[in-house]
Structure 1
Amino acid sequence: MASSKVRPRLLFADESGQIYDHPGLLMMTRRGDEFALPRPDELTPLPKGSDVFLLPGRSAVGFDEETGEAICLDENAVAAFVCPAYTITGVSSYVTQDDAPILPLVAYAAVGYANGRFWVAAKKVDEDMRQVFSGIPDERIEKGAQKLLKKYPDNRLMGHLARCALTFGCPAAKNLALGRFEAPLPTSQTCNARCVGCISHQPEDSGFCSPQNRISFRPKPQEVVEVMLEHNSREKKRPVYSFGQGCEGEPLTEARLLEDSIRAFRKAGGTGTVNINTNASRPETMEPLAKAGLNSIRVSMNSANPGLYNAYYRPAGYDGLEQVKETIREAKKNGLFVSLNYLFFPGVNDTEGELGMLQDFVSDLKVDFIQLRNLNLDPELYLDIALPYAPGANMGFKHFKKRLKKAAPWLNFGYFNPFLG
């Protein structure tokens, strides 16, 4: 059934976690400081690999068609964590109680129920099956990880990644164990930013629990190269290797290690796309890394607005967006493919002011690709940070993409680091 004809009902949950659909209230979404019905063209059947869960200390809010009013229930609100390749178009609508705990570091999509299925406020932005594991037995992943541990008993990086696959279920590490798609290459123990939503390091008074453990050692180039060559021997079609993972700090703080590793990999005949996921804080590293054999960088950003960027990333060892821009210029000058890891939040990034600054940023720097990813943070915490910089009405995800593409016709969209051939 087409989503334009769907009117999902509100979901709510009791204290035991049992989820119900409300017989008289419709699902609502939050976009910035606006509560509204979901836009019909931004609804999607809840994809496989997604989760629906209750939000503690938050009361569900739905729409009463008869009165035209939003109704707040006593019961818990419900949200969806949408699987990779989907971007959230509307946040779950709720009222937060005074004693509500801070929510974990995930994204909170609005979700409802209609015609015998769940519907979520999100749109698919990438057809790549890179992080789809349905149909792959856990035993196969475990066997692959154990094989890597046995084959490389002295390689600390291989051991770290194999254990990530076995213990934490990290999608990138699981793909390494399976010998497919993109291999993760964490190297850095430190970072020169203090991102509010950092998933590997949080101060004790932050109220968050880091969902990933940061790498506890500095790999040797030989260890990095062994991981790359092992993946290269198994993924024959479109191998990608990415420095800059959730279990590390900023990879450019280990630029010399990356340079030595990439050069040795290429000298050994290594093929494929070598990428760095980075905050783009060190422009001087681009030329030597490109000469060593780097293909692309993915630059993490929540906004092209310097104020909002600094409020979220909290740079501690660089000058914010001006240094980011200089790094991108150096990357393009040295022939590198540049993606933005753009952390989209409905009602913030799709406001007129935010879109205009992003259009200028992309056009001036000739960015090649935008990965439309979700900002994983308690929504109200982020809105407290963001709304002073991005007030006003929002245009919605569909129009945001359309207008950005019109301003930069060469630009492509996705979710994952592309294989460059």
Structure 2
Amino acid sequence: MALKKILVLGVGAQGSAAARRLDEDPGVAEIVCADYDKKAVDNLVNDLKKAKGTQVDAHSKDSIVAAAQGVDLILNALPLECTKNVLDAALEVKANYQDYAATTALHEDWVESIRIQYNEYGPKFEAIGRTAIVGTGSAPGLICAATRDAMRYLDTCDTIYNIVWEGVEAKRFQPFWWSPVTALHDMSEEAYAFIDGKLVRTPAFDLPIKRQYDYMDEEITFVEHCHDEPIHYSFNAEKFFKGAKNAYFKYAGAGVDFSKPLYRAGLLSHNTETIKGVEIAPFDVVLAHVPPAPKFKEEIKEIIDEGLVSDSGCMVIEAYGKKDGKDVLVETHVNAPGLVESYEKSGITAEMYLTGQGGYLFTKLFVNDKFDQTGLISSDMLTFEQVDAYFEYAAELDITLDTKVKEL
């Protein structure tokens, strides 16, 4: 197995977490850390053994190409608007490609943009004998691998729920632990659900379901949220999800509680309006007042030392279907460290632990030559052997699955 050279493009909360793990991986020879923020690059590279840094303007494909010379894999941890440039750069330098979430950079319609990734970029990567895998953070990513794992317990699947509760809340104002612009974009959109075999739009914060799992002190209400998973599952239902006809992403937590009243008041609108002679989009005003996700060890420690309101959460897959002619529920819980434990283990937040390191686990599949697919796949299209390898790696980070099959 040849040692790999990897370009980590974007050194925010998630890219930096992945880079730190790659620095410790014996299969990695060199890491190129790249971002427009040279100070952030330098701060990260100074902590790593195998890394060198460079400044990149990701709005220029040529700038990315220059940084990507000789790399085996480009790990794209940039804002979604840059995805087209990164995909095109990967093709030009004949590198493998990985990102964290779907984008509208290829088409203004999100579903069509994903379709273009599969149908247009897939054949291009196949033609150069390379693999592109998209949606590889925690959700999408880790949760998709866990959903694939649930399929091994079913003969046929009818309905999939991906359920996430962001239960980490600081005493200070910190509604999001990942990119606020991405979070607020997701909060401001109608959601997608796969219902009766069709992908449909659903109202944001609507179609509530209530759950109280054993480790919850109270019942939690989960609502619709604009996310990648139902879209990918709709494309891959027959081949990878036992013919599923329904798939939902349900969300709860401090970010939802913060965003819902803003959405209802029209304050997440992207449409400009004139207020006291000033033309402005309400979304931009809200975004300007939301703090960035903490990514440096000292600021994370400061938040913990100030105190937490709660340090909990859940990531659950409920897959309903049939096994041996009986109606069953496959209920899978993802166990992972909370904020305090993530900091104690790795000096990072729980979000970075799951998303940045969840992404790293897909990178580790590349590093260990576990991908025999060429073309473009999403994280829900792993083989069961790849799923097993993924969770074998995850267990080393104390990320595990607890699965129960219940007759209904």
The answer, yes or no, to whether TM exceeds 0.5 is no
Q: Identify, as 1 or 2, the structure richer in helix.
A: 2
Higher Rg of the two aligned structures: 1
TM-score (norm 1): 0.30
More relative contact order, 1 or 2 (CA 8 Å, 6+ apart): 2
TM-score (norm 2): 0.30
